[in-house]
A = this chain, B = another copy of it.
Amino acid sequence: MERDIWKACALKSTPGRRAVLEVLEESRGPVTAEEVYRRILARGGEAGSRTCLSTVYRTLSTLAEKGLLLRSAGPDGVLSYQLRGTGHRHYLICTRCGATVEIGGCPLEELERALGAETGFAITGHSLELYGLCPRCLGGGDGESPGRKGR
């Protein structure tokens, strides 16, 4: 039980919460609440059969509030979460199939410093994501229906 996060945060360790955290740990990029939920169902077991979506949402919110998770929004407004590691990460996301590639290093640290000095802001964070088409979607014709509707 690696460095008991639950006790440290004054939270109770429950199957649902543990499952959420595990999914987050094995995810490379930012994940949606829905996605976390689907993966918990997929893995089955104690949590898989009992955990509901609200618990996932609540756990994600709680962990984000405690500072363990980073919350961001995709271009369509859907929220994603990722474990806040030692340093944070940014991703290059394929707008067609959703494939993500991690970008090494954060190109904004210097900018933040300069900007803080220049504007007087106390800069607390940033959001950065790059979008494009991955090689596979560039090559093939259709990875997914290109016309999207609704939200």
Contacts and interface: CB of A to CB of B under 8 A. Distances in A.
A124 B131 contact: yes
Interface of A: 71-79, 92, 94-95, 101, 103, 107-108, 111-112, 115-116, 119-135, 138
Given A73-B76, A126-B129, A127-B75, A120 B134 contact: yes
Contacts of A73: 73-77
Contacts of A125: 130-132
Number of copies: 2
Contacts of A115: 92, 103, 130
Contact of A122 (B101, B108, B138): B138
Most B CB contacts (10 A, CB to CB) among A74, A77, A131 go to A77
Given A122-B138, A126-B130, 6 more contacts: A72-B75, A73-B73, A101-B121, A107-B108, A112-B130, A126-B129
A103 B133 CA distance: 27
A43 to B, nearest CB: 27
